Structure 1
Amino acid sequence: MLYANLEANLATLTTPSARFVLALSGGMDSRVLLHLMGRYLERYPEASCKAVHVHHGLSANADDWAALCARWAAEAGVDFVLEKVTLALGKRTSVEQQARDARYTALRAHIQLGDVLLTAQHADDQLETVLLALKRGSGPAGLSAMPQCTAFATGWHVRPLLDQPRTAIEQYASEHRLDWVEDESNSDERYDRNFLRHQVTPLLNTRWPGIRKAVTRSAALCAEQEALLQELLAEQLGQAMSADQSLDIACLHPEKPGSERRGKALLRHWLAAVGVKMPSQAQLEQVWHSVVLAQPDANPKVGWGEVEVRRFRQCLHVIQPYEDISDAVVALQLNQACRLPAAIGSLSLSESGAGQLRLPRADEPVTVRFEPAGLEVQPVGRVGKRKLKKLFQEYGVPSWLRRRTPLLFYGEQLVAVAGLFVVEAFAGKECELTWHYEQE
């Protein structure tokens, strides 16, 4: 029964000659899926499959689990790959989330164009996912839970067991006398999903045996609603997004009464389009009121996770917080490129008859700095001095990049701002300043 269901699902979602990548944790669910795929390959020899086991190093038994997975894959006639990952424990992100992110990053590396990633989530997992989404206060996107098939890397992610209850998987494992690994963390009810699995969903399934199917229908309806909303907003989002993935605030129409609901929906779809982890409802409210509705000359920002939403010239930008290099001082030798800190490229001052700068004197050591505060200069062709902060505004440099823009000094005098201008008092034709920039 379970194999017939898997074969039917794969026939609908893939082709008999597909290349499969199976995520093999070694737990009962993925162990059963591996056994099923062994049978599938016997039936469809034109298909191929490799099992990838991600070794997180979180358990003392991790090496033993990897060895067992390798053995089981060989028994099933499936190629085996071991991927070891390291988690940055101690950060604010949960261990569960870090492990999941690392796992999918490792799996993504094995997906070639058109390949199919197989994972073993089932109907009880879907129920838990919806309950967790409800606990977080998620909207239709979160309540859509896990789709049976979705795009992944350059291929697809298919969950062929998603319509089957855990009991069907347990029965199959028993009938075929399969063994599997038991991750000791699965019994730790400090983790929300484990608490639901051991304390909540058994009660729900006992009281309402059809709840798995009902929740699956609700998730599918939410997914349909979310897909429809994306279609309705797709044209508007296309008009509002620039080539640099910034979002034109005017397209949100914040000045119009009743625009907030549509504007926030467009914000969510913009964040999804640029690949950002979705903010909470409270954080989205903060983006709307503190950034979208800020005064045009304000410099607001709202951050969550490892990203920030900031505003510049009536556009919203998603950026990652940068390393502070404002105190850095880098020596620069004439005719020699130097590497700049924080991976922002290299800078060179070269002798050239078509340059914009005069040569530095022997008593003028050349350095590169990044702190613009308090500096006041006169660019070539301008009348009078202006504060560098004002000049950055005029030249269209966003506030978050101003301390990442190289400032060239002769001695203690600012002579040029890379990529923008040369200071009038140091203009000449002997030297050319070149910045090879490597980031946004």
Structure 2
Amino acid sequence: MSRSLLYRQLHLCLQSHSPKSKRFVLALSGGIDSRVLLDVMAEYLTLHPDHQCDAVHVHHGLNVHANEWAEKCYLWAKAVGIQCYVERVTLMKDSGDSLEQLARDARYQVLAKHIKRGDVLLTAQHADDQVETLLLALKRGSGPAGLAAMPVSTSFANGHHVRPLLQISRVDVEAYAEQKNLDWVEDDSNQDTRFDRNFLRHQITPLLVQRWPGLRKAVARSAALCGEQEALLDELLADKLALATAVDGSLALSEHTQERLGKALIRQWLQRQGVAMPSCAQLEQVWHSVVLAQQDANPQLNWQQHQIRRYQQRLYLVQQWPDIQDVQLPITCSVPCELPQGLGRVTLMPSKHGQLRLPQNDEIISVRFNPEGINVKPVGRVGKRKLKKLFQEYGVPSWNRRRTPLVYYGDQLVAVAGLFVVDGFAGQECELTWHNPLSD
């Protein structure tokens, strides 16, 4: 029995890019592309019974039919012997990012949880999607990294992400669905040409393909060549990036670094941290307004949910967090106090070799984060100083000064976690520890 074009492509792709993998996770939105991939993957499993595939449907809650779509995906997967997991997500719509980007980020975060070591994530992007992605990259003014568009295979979470239909056209996907008499969900938002990708899909790409039928293959070649150039650049700059990157993940650049080299290192540095690339204009700002800023300046660039900051001639990638200066958390001795925003936990433990005295019965222990207007004298120092100046002396970057736990007995500051004990509160009865995973 002859196999379909899509099956042959799937088989070839998996043999080429994941020959040793035996567990797959299929992202199942319910649209025609992923619905077809589900059907093709089910055929693959019948011929490879030692392989396993789960499907994951991400429920964004953005459409009135979202519950119905989730149910259909579950039933379609069940009908071909594939377990489907429905994952619900809530999008932070006031974050400043586009709804498309928020949904995409949430989707991949959920999918990553299902990938165990050596597993393969399968998504159903095809050749027409690749054309749209490259055109969007051109619109943004992207360089080789952006113009490489979507690779067939890339590292993802604990395994790999493979797009087995990337050489297949939308026409072939639709023909397969009709031949197999498949049904799928239709998201009405896919017709809304206010979204850039939909505008390209419905009004631009069809005209381009009609004029140049070989466009899809040409785009695939161009994207592959850009990907090769970017990979070569990564290899050539790997040693320089390693030398410039500190243990804490910061990047050492100065006004003496050649601009073209510096920008390339910044792009690679950001890419390795898994964040979206800044635009060319934003990269110009990073260079001229952050790297080349005056020595006494406190420069930064904000984009998406991150900031690029400079401190002591090093660049830091900082996540933008809501202000917590008014947060006040109670502490009980021997019980870890969980801090907000991933800052870890603070623990005050009775000890014979600690740094603090025990609190008295009427002294309520708390953690606060507002250093404003505080003058203290650390143990062993002469005279009081403003906490702001002490943070500078101890090398705490400005963006962490309102995120460093301040431990109080009553209304008296007794210690700054990880830095010092305040004079008058020293002792050996308590040990203060701060486990901060963000600095590990």
Same fold (TM over 0.5): yes
Give the C-alpha shift of residue 363 in structure 1.
Answer: 8.1
1:161 and 2:165 equivalent?
Answer: yes
Q: Are residues 172 and 418 of structure 1, via their aligned partners in 2, closer, same or farther at CA, if it must alter by over 3 Å?
A: closer
Query: 1:8 — aligned with what?
Result: 12
**CA pair 414-100 structure 1, distance change in 2 beyond 3 A:** closer
Aligned to 1:111: 115
Query: 1:363 and 1:177 mapped to 2: Cα distance?
Result: 75
- Equivalent residue for 1:432? 430
The equivalent residue for 2:261 is: 262
Name the structure 1 match of 2:369. Answer: 370
Match of 1:339 among 337, 340, 358: 337
Map of 1:387 onto structure 2 = 386
Name the CA shift for 1:248/1:71 in 2 (closer, same or farther; >3 Å): same
Shift of 1:356: 4.7
Structure 1 stretch 117-126 or stretch 311-320: which is displaced more?
A: 311-320
**1:81 aligns to 2:85 (yes or no):** yes
- 1:193-208 alignment runs, 5 A limit: 193-208=197-212
Query: Cα deviation per residue 1:347-395 (whole Å; 9 max; x = unaligned)?
Result: 5385x66555566678877665433333333333333433332222222
Q: How does 1:318-329 map to 2 (within 5 A)?
A: 318-329=317-328
Query: Take 2:22 and 2:160, find their aligned partners in 1: how far apart are those partners?
Result: 11
SS in 2 for 1:234: helix
Partner residue, 1:280: 279
Whether 2:68 is the aligned partner of 1:70: answer no
Change (3 A) 1:104 1:366: closer
Contact 1:16–1:44 (CA<8 Å) still a contact in 2? no
Residue 408 (structure 1) shift: 4.5
Scaled by the length of structure 2, what TM-score is found? 0.89
Tell me the alpha carbon deviations over residues 124-161 of structure 1, each in whole angstroms, 9 at most, x when there is no partner.
11101111111111111111011111111111111111
Deviation of 1:13 (Å): 2.1
Deviates more, 1:123-132 or 1:284-293: 284-293
- Per the alignment, residue 395 of structure 2 pairs with 396
Contact 1:56 1:62 in 2 (8 A): yes
CA contact (8 A) 2:407 2:417 kept: yes
Amino acid at match of 2:75: R
Choose which of 55, 58, 61 in structure 2 pairs with 1:57: 61
Cα distance in 2, alignment partners of residues 67 and 345 from structure 1: 40
1:232 CA drift (Å): 0.9
**Structure 1 residues 177, 322: CA separation in 2 closer, same or farther (over 3 Å shift)?**
closer
SS in 1 for 2:11: helix
SS in 1 for 2:401: helix
In structure 2, the CA distance between the partners of 1:22 and 1:339, relative to structure 1 (3 Å rule), is closer
Given the two structures, how large is their TM-score scaled by the length of structure 1?
Answer: 0.89
Q: How many angstroms does 1:201 deviate by?
A: 0.7
Structure with higher Rg: it is 1
Q: Distance in 2 between matches of 1:411 and 1:76?
A: 64
Q: Deviations over 1:326-365 (max 9, x none)?
A: 34455667x5657365355225385x66555566678877
1:224 lines up with 2:228 in the alignment: yes
Q: Aligned with 2:402: secondary structure?
A: helix
Secondary structure class of the residue paired with 2:240:
helix
Contact 1:23 1:118 in 2 (8 A): yes
Report if the CA contact (8 A) 1:353-1:429 is conserved: no
Q: What do residues 259-314 of structure 1 show as CA deviations (whole Å, max 9, x unaligned)? A: 11110110011111122222222222222122211233332222111111112222
Closer, same or farther: CA 400–175 of 1 in aligned 2, 3 Å: same
1:344-359 → structure 2 map (5 Å cutoff): 344-348=344-348, 350=350, 354=353, 356=355
Deviation of 1:83 after TM superposition, in Å, equals 2.2
Asked if structure 2 preserves the Cα contact closer than 8 Å seen for 1:27 and 1:181, the reply is: yes
| CA distance 1:219–1:433, change in 2 (3 Å) | same
**Residues 435 and 159 (structure 1 numbering): CA distance in 2 closer, same or farther, change over 3 Å?**
same
SS in 1 for 2:173: helix
Aligned equivalent of 2:302 = 303
Partners of 2:353 and 2:431 within 8 A in 1: no
What CA distance in whole angstroms lies between the structure 1 residues aligned with 2:363 and 2:167? 74
Q: 1:82 to 1:331 in 2, by over 3 A?
A: closer
Change (3 A) 1:85 1:21: same
Cα distance in 2 between the residues matched to 1:329 and 1:179: 54
Contact (CA 8 Å) 1:17, 1:46: kept in 2 or not? no
CA contact (8 A) 1:325 1:341 kept: no
d(CA) in 2 for partners of 1:162, 1:149: 10
Q: Deviations over 1:50-92 (max 9, x none)?
A: 2222222222222322232233223333332222222233442
SS state at 1:202 partner:
helix
| Contact 2:61–2:89, Cα closer than 8 Å, also in 1 | yes
CA pair 74-230 structure 1, distance change in 2 beyond 3 A: same
Give the match's secondary structure for 2:278.
coil
C-alpha separation in 1, matches of 2:329 and 2:72: 53
Matching residue of 2:421: 422
Report the AA paired with residue 204 of structure 1.
L
- Decide whether aligned partners of structure 1 residues 327 and 112 sit closer, same or farther in structure 2, where only a CA change above 3 A counts: closer
Judge conservation of contact 2:355–2:430 (CA < 8 Å) in 1. yes
The 1-side partners of 2:31 and 2:359 are apart by 68
How many residues in Structure 1 have an aligned counterpart in Structure 2? 432
In structure 2, C-alpha distance between the alignment counterparts of 1:45 and 1:196, rounded to whole Å: 40
Give the SS at the match of 1:403. Answer: coil
AA aligned to 2:119 is D
Structure 2 equivalent of residue 97 of structure 1: 101
Q: Is this contact kept in 2: 1:16–1:46, CA < 8 A?
A: no
Q: Is the 8 A contact 1:54 1:83 kept in 2?
A: yes
Question: How far is the alpha carbon of 1:37 from its aligned partner?
Answer: 1.6
Classify the secondary structure of the residue corresponding to 2:432: strand
136-145 or 75-84, which moves further after superposition? 75-84
Q: Percent of aligned positions with the same letter in both sequences?
A: 58
What is the RMSD computed on CA atoms of the aligned residues? Answer: 2.6
1:20 and 2:24 are equivalent in the alignment: yes
1:167 aligns to what SS in structure 2? helix
